[in-house]
Amino acid sequence: MIGWHEDRNNVDGLRANEARLGMRFALVRHYHQWALPGRLLDGLVAEGRLVVSSHKAPDPARGGWAAVASGAEDRMIVALADKYRSYGREIVFVFHHEPHDEAADVKGGTYGKAADFVAAWRRIHGIFVKRGAHHSVGGNVLFGYSAVDTWALRRAPGGSPGRRSPGRCAAPRVGRTRQRT
């Protein structure tokens, strides 16, 4: 697939580039602060596009990753899960893209430590699963993890994800059974 991100979520710029290239982008990257997506994202999904939708954590003054991990932001997470589930078509949810830039113990950021990010990501994932939004339980939301540099590349022994990767949480596989051989 060929995807696109337009500066400041500029859909007019997206469409102008599609017209100039003579093709429609199948994937569109969209960025949000810690708020529900609005009409702009609704429109992109309604056009049948696969959207990668990134949400930055609450401002550090409101607790950053630790606030999410603690449950203080559960109302927002439930609202996000329900909103994304309501689209009824696949969408990729990314929590706080490039978290290494914001981690206090990696690059001196202010959103919290790497462990706070992992705990927050896992809490969000768990709520999406419980609300039926996550793909693993029959929903339409896939989770993405957008990290670069050593954050994404560092591995634990045996090739498993490192401690900074939130992806080690397993979601239940609904309706799937292992066949014996």
In the chain, the amino acid numbered 120 is: A
Residue at 11 is within a domain: no
Q: How many domains does the chain have?
A: 1
Residue at 179 is within a domain: no
Q: How far apart are CA 24 and CA 26, in angstroms?
A: 6
CATH of the domain at 161: 3.20.20.80
Q: How far apart are CA 71 and CA 83, in angstroms?
A: 19
Q: Is the pLDDT of residue 156 over 70?
A: no
Residue at 90 is within a domain: yes
Task: Considering only residues 149 and 27, tell me which one the structure prediction assigns the higher pLDDT.
Answer: 27
Per-residue pLDDT tens digits for 67-117:
999 999 999 999 999 999 999 999 999 999 888 888 898 888 899 998 999
**Please, are residues 52 and 27 in contact by the beta-carbon 8 Å criterion?**
yes
Residue at 42 is within a domain: yes
Residue at 111 is within a domain: yes
Residue at 84 is within a domain: yes
pTM over 0.85: no
Q: How far apart are CA 29 and CA 92, in angstroms?
A: 9
Q: How far apart are CA 172 and CA 21, in angstroms?
A: 42
Which residues span the domain enclosing 110?
26-168
